[in-house]
Structure 1
């Protein structure tokens, strides 16, 4: 905060001189400056503190909401969890891997539809779903089809989870052509996100 003691001392000295010489008290230019400045500083510091507190409160609320959404969003849905576990058991795939793919694909949201037309929790393209005998618009069938496809990718790449996940995103031919995760930014990001959740 600004030190105003010098101004106060000058004002006191002026008042003393006026008293000594019996001068009429005058309003000197700047006499009220210190007081007004102090009032303005007080107003702004209260306002700044209030704003900072409001921003911190909003950030904390947003972080809490985001954390709650990401951890409980759809896995608080017991039907989704049961369906994933049932499909994982049926095709002998780790349910954590199926859950990780579902999370990255759609956030576990059956109503999700990508700009490319992929549908549901496991984001099945209608042609792929048809080849798997799945109805992509039905959650149970969508998860069953996606898990079956994941099993096929694991079998194709000798159980290599990283390659299987890359193939789920980019297709098995791309993974074979590059001998691993294709150098596509989207696929590399996808694989990293799925494996981060899976681990």
Structure 2
């Protein structure tokens, strides 16, 4: 439910003010639990439920996401871990994946899904055809991308990200065609004007996209503090408002 919907549901006057007061109480309790002095309330009262949420750092994250028309993709305050920009099971290479995705303007979940499909995160993987490394670059492709050691994780991931970016640019940002070109070559995609009728390539495209969906950032609720962090016996029961 959006912040606007919550505001519309709250009756003006007592109910809204009680809800805001409730938020202030919860913030004070959280601050005390972490040994942080509570921030003094401003002299002017809050004017809306959304402003109270924004003060807690949650409303702004939701508002920014809503304005962009997309789910929240940045970790909320308090989220930790090198792989906090990726959901799903962490890998030892999440930091390199995030850096390469940012450098080349890619969805990090898509890049991680590609690596899983290519090598299952084994930097020493090789194929009978001669591809090697995390992103399974062929020798000629690696040389054209400036990769001198295909088994080096940093070089491999950066090279694979650069090559995927090239395919996305060549096919107008079409992820399906770009993945097909990564697997079967851009010539085959151009020849068939889409995913070639190769069972391996068709399965590959579906597999990478399914993995990418798995690695998308978790919902907002997953990054919020657990309810057990609040002392249940110390919450006042006065006021007619409620927070659900």
Report the TM-score, using the length of structure 2 for normalisation: 0.50
**CA apart distance, 1:143:** 0.5
Please identify runs of 4+ aligned residues in structure 1 that moved more than 2 A. Answer: none
Asked if structure 1 preserves the Cα contact closer than 8 Å seen for 2:176 and 2:205, the reply is yes
Task: Return the offset for 1:126.
Answer: 1.1
- Tell me which of 193, 209, 222 is aligned to 1:179: 193
The aligned length equals: 125
Deviations 1:10-39 (A, max 9, x none): xxxxxxxxxxxxxxxxxxxxxxxxxxxxxx
The partner residue of 2:91 within 76, 81, 84 is 76
More helix by share: 1
Unpaired stretches in structure 1, ≥5 consecutive residues: 1-70
Match of 1:116 in 2: 129
Larger Rg: 1
Q: Which runs of 5+ in 2 are unaligned?
A: 1-87, 214-244
Partner of 1:13: none
Does the CA contact (< 8 Å) of 2:91 and 2:121 recur in 1? Answer: no
Supply the RMSD in Å over aligned alpha carbons: 1.1
- Inter-partner Cα distance in structure 2 for 1:76 and 1:157: 29
Larger RCO, structure (CA 8 Å, separation 6 or more) = 2
Counterparts of 1:13-92 in structure 2, within 5 Å, are: 72=89, 75-77=90-92, 80-92=93-105
- Offset of 1:137 from its aligned partner? 2.0
Say which of 116, 135, 151 aligns to 1:137: 151
2:196 counterpart SS class: coil
